[in-house]
Amino acid sequence: MKKESGAKAIPLGLIRKRKRLPVLVNLTPSLVWYVLFFGIPVGLMFVYSFWKQVYVRIIPIFTLENYVAFFTIPMYPLLLVKSLMMAVGVTLASIALAYPAAYYLALRIKKHKYMLMLILWGPFWTSYLLIVLAWKLILGYNGALNSLLIYLGLIKEPLTALVYSPFATILALVHIWAPWLAFPIFVSLEKMDKSLLEAAADLGATPRQAFLRVTLPLSMPGVLVAVLFVFIPVVGEFVTPSLIGGPGGIMFGNVIENLFHRGTNWPMGSAFSFVMLVVVMVTAILLIRRIGLQALMESL
Amino acid sequence: MPRKKFSLSGQTLTFYFILFSLFTYTPLFVLVIFSFNDSIIMGFPLAGFTLKWYENFIQNDTAISAIINTVNVGVASASIATIAGLMAALALVRHRFHGRELYTNIMMLPLVIPGILLGISLLSLFSFLGISLSLLTVMAGHALMGLPFAMLVMMARLIGFDPALEEAAMDLGADEIRTFREVTLPIISPGILVAFMLAFSTSLEDVAVAFFTVGYEPTLPIYVYGMMRYARMMPILTAISVSMVLFSICLSIAQDAIRNR
């Protein structure tokens, strides 16, 4: 940009002046939408969190009791911690599953690698609800897996611990996210300068050393993008656990959903949402700082 | 565990890749198989081939209107997201102004906030203002969710765009509108389509935001979510699922074709 302005200083200067208004005009739609449907709602949620509800009426009196409730009733922080741990588990398991597949596609395959990536990505385009539905069918008491095992004579009674458990929730979530994760990891591996690996080999590195010192660090941006887009939605999950998690699979999102959807206590739900929001935002800011916006754009 | 892989041959990786693909696709196979299975019980042994679940699905008015609702909401929200996203991207990529980086970062926020929080905050707003929930309120939320995606895609496109082309057009006497229509638009139109489809599929997939902002008319995911509690609805749901999968695959193939052009 600066280089050019030396050669054509006058026209560029003119254009720039003419374009000051368009900047404002161009930003207006997104700004209006964000203020109306994002800024104000989140602000309202924050305000609600300091009010209280008596029966069905929300009373606008400042109180801290919703936050006090969160920190003094052990069940709530424990559920948040449980949700965070499930999200960490899902993220790590998904990366562990997706990384070798992405590595294989990016570094071992010569032809049709984008086609293969697209095929691998296919299930992500199916609404994630359908994946949950499929797992419900597979893991159910009279479901596909149990009936198949009985049909084959491997078991006599259906296994009961399959569906309606935290395990089912984690399995479905890993299945939803692992194929998707393969993509950003694939992109960062694909961008890597392959001659670096040859250089490492020439300098006497074993394949394992080359992987740990060259490939893995260079693919970290992809892995971090993956963390960002898996960890955060999973922390806020309430749909998957409500369908296949059973009583033991309840997550923090289910508590919030309950406080809101049955209309039982919006201010308390707002306070809990705000606690979740803070946790998520801190994670996101730390991650985005590490990744940079550029990598984020390239991963889409 | 991952360490071992490197002393292993390429064949092990190939084998792993096949296993991973199988894992990815197994649930879809299951849905396809049971959608053609002539029994209300979703188990083995299979009962025989039937198309009746697809017939039931097509004759189910609620499901069909849910699909129409979903498409309407998707098209409307994706259009808003794409237009607003394109305009924002134009300002952010082409101009250096104070607060540019901050604005970009703020625009990214809905990407990194769980859907449940977006849904709840929108519900709070609508109930505070006394606006009754409908497909319009869903659409407002979906446009918000699609906007950052659309903007990121457009920014990526515009960064690779040589502004000299526009300057040349203006030097040759074209005004700004004509330059935009005849130079800029043709170059960025694949990006616009990708942005639209990305925003559309965000809307198509969403359960969390719609769950809190939907009124009496459901979108398809909300309908499916509600019906998943009833065992007798399962076979029809598999038929709906398989149809949706086919539709999504077409959408993603189209998007990839455009992206590579």
Cβ neighbour number for residue A188 with a 10 Å cutoff: 24
Contact yes or no for A137 and B238 at CB 8 A: yes
- Which residues, including other chains, have CB under 8 Å from residue A238's CB and lie 6 or more apart? A251, A253, A254, A256, A257, B116, B208
Contact yes or no for A114 and B251 at CB 8 A: no
Which among A130, A242, A282 is the top mutation candidate for probing chain B, defined by the most B β-carbons within 10 Å of its own β-carbon? A130
Domain spans, chain B: 33-260
Q: Is residue A154 part of a domain?
A: yes
Smallest Cα distance from A220 to chain B, Å: 15
Q: Is residue A231 part of a domain?
A: yes
CA B34, B40, B46, B48 torsion-angle sign: negative
Tell me the count of A-B CB pairs closer than 8 A.
281
Q: In terms of CA atoms, which chain A residue is nearest residue B168?
A: A11
Q: Is residue A11 part of a domain?
A: yes
Q: Which residue has the tokens 């990305």?
A: B198
Same domain, A149 and A287: yes
Contact yes or no for A284 and B114 at CB 8 A: no
Residue B172 phi/psi, 5° resolution? Answer: -85, 5
Residue type, B90: L
- Which residues, including other chains, have CB under 8 Å from residue B56's CB and lie 6 or more apart? B235, B236, B239
Q: List the single residue in B13, B95, B122 with the smallest CB-CB distance to A23.
A: B95
- Host domain of residue A2: 1-34
Contact yes or no for B107 and A121 at CB 8 A: no
Decide: helix, strand or coil at residue A52: strand
Q: List the single residue in B31, B114, B253 with the smallest CB-CB distance to A134.
A: B31
Copy the structure tokens of residue B259.
């992206």
CA dihedral B30, A168, A231, A131 (to 10 degrees): 20
Instruction: With beta carbons under 8 A apart, name residues in chain B contacting A12.
Output: 167
DSSP B219: P
Smallest Cα distance from B48 to chain A, Å: 15
Which CATH superfamily hosts domain B33-260?
MetI-like (1.10.3720.10)
CATH number of the domain residue A204 falls in: 1.10.3720.10
Contact yes or no for A97 and B20 at CB 8 A: yes
Compute the distance between CA of residue A146 and CA of residue B30 in angstroms, rounded to an integer. Answer: 13
Residue type, B236: I
Same domain, A104 and A216: yes
Instruction: With beta carbons under 8 A apart, name residues in chain B contacting A148.
Output: 43-44
Same domain, A166 and A229: yes
Which among B12, B19, B116, B230 is the top mutation candidate for probing chain A, defined by the most A β-carbons within 10 Å of its own β-carbon? B116
Q: How many domains does chain A have?
A: 2
Q: List the single residue in B88, B149, B152 with the smallest CB-CB distance to A26.
A: B88
3-state secondary structure A61-87: CCCCHHHHHHHHCCHHHHHHHHHHHHH
Contact yes or no for A118 and B7 at CB 8 A: no
Same domain, A269 and A188: yes
Q: Which residue has the tokens 């949700």?
A: A83
Compute the distance between CA of residue B241 and CA of residue B244 in angstroms, rounded to an integer. Answer: 5
- The structure's pTM equals 0.85
Instruction: With beta carbons under 8 A apart, name residues in chain B contacting A228.
Output: 112
Contact yes or no for B121 and A273 at CB 8 A: yes
Q: Which ipTM value was assigned to this complex? A: 0.85
Closest CA to B245 of B24, B79, B60: B24
Smallest Cα distance from A279 to chain B, Å: 10
Q: List the single residue in B20, B88, B140 with the smallest CB-CB distance to A30.
A: B88
Q: List the single residue in B24, B201, B212 with the smallest CB-CB distance to A120.
A: B24
pLDDT value at residue A8: 41
Smallest Cα distance from B226 to chain A, Å: 10
Ranges under pLDDT 50 in chain B: 1-7
Q: Is residue A59 part of a domain?
A: no
Contact yes or no for A137 and B42 at CB 8 A: yes
pLDDT value at residue B3: 43
Q: Is residue A158 part of a domain?
A: yes
Task: Evaluate the omega torsion of the peptide bond into residue B110 and state whether it is cis, within 30 degrees of 0.
Answer: no
Cβ neighbour number for residue A87 with a 10 Å cutoff: 26
Contact yes or no for A108 and B13 at CB 8 A: yes
Same domain, A13 and A132: no
Contact yes or no for B224 and A41 at CB 8 A: no
Contact yes or no for A277 and B234 at CB 8 A: no
φ/ψ region of A155 (left if φ > 0, alpha if ψ in -120 to 50, else beta) reads beta
Same domain, A108 and A4: no
Q: List the single residue in B105, B121, B156 with the smallest CB-CB distance to A44.
A: B121
Q: List the single residue in B41, B128, B143 with the smallest CB-CB distance to A33.
A: B143
DSSP B218: P
Q: In terms of CA atoms, which chain A residue is nearest residue B33?
A: A144
Contact yes or no for B87 and A25 at CB 8 A: yes
pLDDT digit string (tens) for chain A, length 300 residues? 344 444 444 455 455 555 567 788 888 899 999 999 999 999 999 998 998 887 777 778 888 888 988 889 888 999 999 999 999 999 999 999 988 888 888 887 777 777 777 777 766 666 778 888 888 888 877 777 877 888 887 777 777 767 788 888 898 899 888 888 888 888 888 877 778 877 887 887 777 887 888 788 888 878 888 788 889 889 999 999 988 888 888 899 999 998 887 767 889 999 999 999 999 988 888 887 777 666 666 655
Same domain, A123 and A10: no
Contact yes or no for A232 and B90 at CB 8 A: no
